[in-house]
């Protein structure tokens, strides 16, 4: 099927892999990558690439019109830990970019939007285990507030203007191609890199902090499957709960020790501990399973195997 797809924030942790996968599926020329900065060679050379500020309506509209874009994946965002340091910048980036694409869809200049939300929409009064789709949400971070507000706007634009916007609440994402930046769950990527480079890792969260996580391949598949699913079957137009696995720093360290003998971990919790403590430990994603057939494929063991194998290959070890 031919269609023109624009990715905003294509050089980030999710955007990089999402762009390459969409290009594989829909053709290199049909998938336009954009970001405010340059990205990897494979991303910039495998198809169209534009330097683009997602917070500028005019710039996004120009690109949409030029390439006759039908679908937008909005991946530009400031994550939880960085957003605590730059609250206003985070709010402006996370909200203005969303309004830009919602308004383009309202004006019928694009047909469909994917916008990721996060487990950060939940707060310390949310039930921690098997967190339900519909529950008490009192986020305590700027990032969480921006995602929760964004969810309400998505639901509003869908109900009021018929905008076809689709969203999932991503847990922490683990990947080896592009590193994350500024998130609370980033430790679950850093730990693999340090295990291979130095044989040891100092974790900024406590040993027993359970968080929901997902391997990137599952996350990319979830995004594309949701976008390709029948819109009439989607009962949630705010954002779907999405689960895959849950583990603590202690547990991921043990799974690494099984393949990297001698790996050592110690713990020096910092300000990110309070953020992690306000988030759920596990997620009830039954609505996503029911509505569009979501099913994760990677557990912790499989994730560790893949991460170690790919990172070793990357570094020529």
The set of catalytic residues is 143
Task: Establish if 184 lies at the interface with ligand SER (CB under 6 A).
Answer: yes
Q: Which stretch binds ligand SER (CB under 6 A): 14-22, 112-120, 220-228, 263-271?
A: 112-120
Cα distances (Å, whole numbers) of residue 225 to 61, 83, 114, 230, 259: 26, 29, 11, 10, 32
- Residue from 30, 94, 118, 131 touching ligand SER (CB under 6 A): that is 118
Task: Establish if 144 lies at the interface with ligand SER (CB under 6 A).
Answer: no
- The answer to whether 266 touches 203, Cβ cutoff 8 Å, is yes
Residue nearest to ligand SER (CB): 183
Task: Establish if 278 lies at the interface with ligand SER (CB under 6 A).
Answer: no
Separation between Cα atoms, residue 157 and residue 161, nearest integer Å: 5
Task: Establish if 80 lies at the interface with ligand SER (CB under 6 A).
Answer: yes
- The answer to whether 227 touches 263, Cβ cutoff 8 Å, is no
**How is the chain split among helix, strand and coil, in percent rounded to 5?**
45, 15, 40
Report the candidate in 241, 35, 223 with the shortest Cα–Cα distance to residue 112.
223
Nearer Cβ to ligand SER (69/84) = 84
Report the candidate in 170, 196, 198 with the shortest Cα–Cα distance to residue 185.
170
Task: Establish if 120 lies at the interface with ligand SER (CB under 6 A).
Answer: yes
Separation between Cα atoms, residue 12 and residue 220, nearest integer Å: 13
Task: Establish if 185 lies at the interface with ligand SER (CB under 6 A).
Answer: yes
Task: Establish if 172 lies at the interface with ligand SER (CB under 6 A).
Answer: yes
Task: Establish if 93 lies at the interface with ligand SER (CB under 6 A).
Answer: no
Task: Establish if 122 lies at the interface with ligand SER (CB under 6 A).
Answer: no
Q: Which stretch binds ligand SER (CB under 6 A): 98-106, 181-189, 199-207, 251-259?
A: 181-189
CB of 147 to ligand SER, least distance (A): 8
The 10 Å CB-count burial string (b at 16+, else e) for 121-143 is bbbeebeeeebebeeeeebbbbb
Count of residues that bind ligand SER according to CB under 6 A: 11
Q: Which residue has the tokens 């994730």?
A: 303
CB of 80 to ligand SER, least distance (A): 3
- Judged by the rule CB under 6 A, the positions of this chain that interact with ligand SER are 79-80, 118-120, 143, 170, 172, 183-185
């Amino acid at each position: 099927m031919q269609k023109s797809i624009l990715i905003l924030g294509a050089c980030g942790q999710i955007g990089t892999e999402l762009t390459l996968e969409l290009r594989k599926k829909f053709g290199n020329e049909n998938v336009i990558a954009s970001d405010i900065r340059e990205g990897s060679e494979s991303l910039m050379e495998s198809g169209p690439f534009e330097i683009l500020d997602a917070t500028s309506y005019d710039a996004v509209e120009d690109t949409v019109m030029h390439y006759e874009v039908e679908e937008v994946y909005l991946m530009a965002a400031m994550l939880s830990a960085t957003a605590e340091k730059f609250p206003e910048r985070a709010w402006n980036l996370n909200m203005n970019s969303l309004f830009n694409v919602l308004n383009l869809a309202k004006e019928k200049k694009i047909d469909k939007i994917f916008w990721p939300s996060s487990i950060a929409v939940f707060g310390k009064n949310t039930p921690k285990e098997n967190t339900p789709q519909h529950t008490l949400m009192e986020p305590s971070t700027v990032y969480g507030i921006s995602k929760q507000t964004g969810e309400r706007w998505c639901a509003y634009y869908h109900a009021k203007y018929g905008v076809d916007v689709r969203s999932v609440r991503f847990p922490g994402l683990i990947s080896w191609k592009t590193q994350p930046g500024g998130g609370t769950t980033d430790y679950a990527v850093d730990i693999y890199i340090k295990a291979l480079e130095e044989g040891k890792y100092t974790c900024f969260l406590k040993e027993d902090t359970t968080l929901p996580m997902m391997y990137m391949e599952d996350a990319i598949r979830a995004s594309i499957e949701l976008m390709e699913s029948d819109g009439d079957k989607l009962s949630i137009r705010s954002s779907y709960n999405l689960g895959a696995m849950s583990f603590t720093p202690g547990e991921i360290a043990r799974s690494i020790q099984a393949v990297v003998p001698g790996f050592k971990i110690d713990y020096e919790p910092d300000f990110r501990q309070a953020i992690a403590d306000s988030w759920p430990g596990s997620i009830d994603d039954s609505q996503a399973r029911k509505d569009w057939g979501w099913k994760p494929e990677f557990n912790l063991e499989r994730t560790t195997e893949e991460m170690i194998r790919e990172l070793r290959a990357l570094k020529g070890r």
